[in-house]
Amino acid sequence: MAVSKLLSLTLFITFLCAVNNGRVEATHEIYPQFQSLSAVSVHQLHRTAFHFQPPKNWINDPNAPMYYNGIYHFFYQYNPKGAVWGNIVWAHSVSKDMINWKALEPAIYPSHRFDRKGAWSGSATILPGNKPVILYTGVDPNDRQVQNSAVPANLSDPYLRKWIKPAGLNPVVDPEAGVNASAFRDPTTAWWLSGHWRMVVGSKRNHRGMAYLYRSRDFIHWIKAKHPLHSAPRTGMWECPDFYPILLSGKQGLDTSVLGKQVKHILKVSLDVTRYDYYTVGTYLTDEDRYVPDNTSIDGWAGLRYDYGNFYASKTFFDPAKKRRILWGWVNESDTTSEDVRKGWAGIQAIPRIVWLDPNQRQLMQWPIQELETLRGTNVKMNHQMLKTGDHIEVKGISAAQADVDVTFYIPSLDKVEAFNLGWSLTDAQLLCAKKGSKVQGGIGPFGLLALASENLEEYTPVFFRIFKSSQKHIVLLCSDARSSSLKDGLYKPSFAGFVDVDLTDKKLSLRSLIDHSVVESFGAGGKTCITSRVYPTLAVLENAHLYAFNNGTETIIVENLNAWSMKKPLRMN
Ligand code: DQQ
- Say if ligand 1 is within 6 A of residue 269 CB: no
120 CB less than 6 Å from ligand 1? yes
Cβ within 8 Å of residue 143, ≥6 positions away: 117, 181, 182
Atom of ligand 1 nearest to the CA of 120: 8
Closest CA to 268 of 278, 276, 258, 281: 278
Q: Which amino acid is at 528?
A: K
Q: Which atom of ligand 1 approaches the CA of 270 most closely?
A: 7
- Cα–Cα distance measured from residue 85 to residue 36, given in angstroms and rounded to the nearest whole number: 10
pLDDT in the model for residue 425: 83
Classify residue 251 as exposed, middle or buried by CB count within 10 Å of its CB (0-12, 13-18, 19+).
middle
Question: In the prediction, which pLDDT does 194 show?
Answer: 96
Distance (angstroms) between ligand 1 centre and the Cα of 270 equals 10
Told to judge if 186 belongs to the known catalytic residues of this protein, a careful annotator would answer no
**Residue 574: per-residue pLDDT:** 61
Residues 6+ positions from 480 with CB-CB distance below 8 Å: 308, 309, 461, 462, 463, 496, 497, 520, 522, 531, 532, 533
Is the C-beta atom of 77 inside 6 A of ligand 1? yes
**For ligand 1, atom 7: residue with the closest CA:** 313
pLDDT at 12: 46
Separation of 312 CA from ligand 1 center, angstroms? 10
**CA atoms of 467 and 444, how far apart (whole Å):** 6
Q: What is the distance in A from the centroid of ligand 1 to the CA of 65?
A: 15
What is the distance in A from the centroid of ligand 1 to the CA of 239?
7
**Does any ligand 1 atom lie closer than 6 A to the CB of residue 186?**
yes
Q: Is 61 in the pocket of ligand 1 (CB under 6 A)?
A: yes
Q: Which helix (H) or strand (E) holds 4?
A: helix 3-21
State the distance from the centre of ligand 1 to the C-alpha of 79, rounded, in angstroms. Answer: 13
Question: Angle at CA 111, nearest 5°, toward 108 and 114?
Answer: 95
pLDDT for position 269: 98
Q: State which of 185, 204, 269 you would mutate to test the pocket of ligand 1, scoring each by most atoms of that ligand within 8 A of its C-beta.
A: 185
Q: In the prediction, which pLDDT does 201 show?
A: 98
Separation in Å, CA 363 to CA 206, 234, 253: 29, 23, 15
Q: Count CB neighbours of 177 within 10 A.
A: 5
Task: Provide the pLDDT for residue 462.
Answer: 98
Q: Is the CB of 137 inside a 6 Å radius of any atom of ligand 1?
A: yes
pTM above 0.85, yes or no: yes
Ligand 1 pocket, residue 335 CB under 6 Å: no
State residue 20's pLDDT score.
Answer: 37
Report how far ligand 1's centroid is from the alpha carbon of 213 (Å): 19
The domains located in the chain, with CATH, are: 2-368 (2.115.10.20), 375-568 (2.60.120.560)
Give the Cα separation of 91 and 77 in Å (integer).
6
Q: Are 280 and 293 in contact (CB under 8 A)?
A: yes
> Measured between alpha carbons, how far is 558 from 553 in angstroms, rounded to an integer?
12
Of 61, 115, 186, 307, the active-site residue reads 61
How far is ligand 1, taken at its centre, from the CA of residue 357, in Å? 27
3-state secondary structure 208-244: EEEEEEEEECCCCCCEECCCCCEEECCCCCEEEEEEE
Cβ contact 283:292 at 8 Å: yes
Each of the 574 residues of the chain gets a pLDDT tens digit; together they read: 344 444 444 444 444 433 433 333 347 999 998 999 888 889 999 999 999 999 999 999 999 999 999 999 999 999 999 999 999 999 999 999 999 999 999 999 999 999 999 999 999 999 999 999 999 999 999 999 999 999 999 999 999 999 999 989 999 999 999 999 999 999 999 999 999 999 999 999 999 999 999 999 999 999 999 999 999 999 999 999 999 999 999 999 999 999 999 999 999 999 999 999 999 999 999 999 999 999 999 998 899 999 999 999 999 999 999 999 999 999 999 999 999 999 999 999 999 999 999 999 999 999 999 999 999 999 999 999 999 999 999 999 999 999 999 999 999 999 999 999 888 888 899 999 999 999 999 999 999 999 999 999 999 999 999 999 998 899 999 999 999 999 999 999 999 999 999 999 999 999 999 999 999 999 999 999 999 999 999 999 999 999 999 999 999 999 999 999 999 999 876 6
The CB of 185 under 6 Å from ligand 1? The reply is yes
Burial classification of residue 16, based on how many CB atoms lie within 10 Å of its CB (0-12 exposed, 13-18 middle, 19 or more buried) = middle
Q: Report the SS3 class of residue 16.
A: helix
Find the angle CA(110)-CA(115)-CA(176) to the nearest 5 degrees. 170
Angle made by CA atoms 268, 271, 274, in degrees to the nearest 5: 135
Q: How far apart are CA 51 and CA 72, in angstroms?
A: 16
Report the candidate in 498, 482, 479 with the shortest Cα–Cα distance to residue 490.
Answer: 482
The closest residue, in CA terms, to atom 10 on ligand 1 is: 120
Q: Is the CB of 271 under 6 A from ligand 1?
A: no
pLDDT at 27: 72
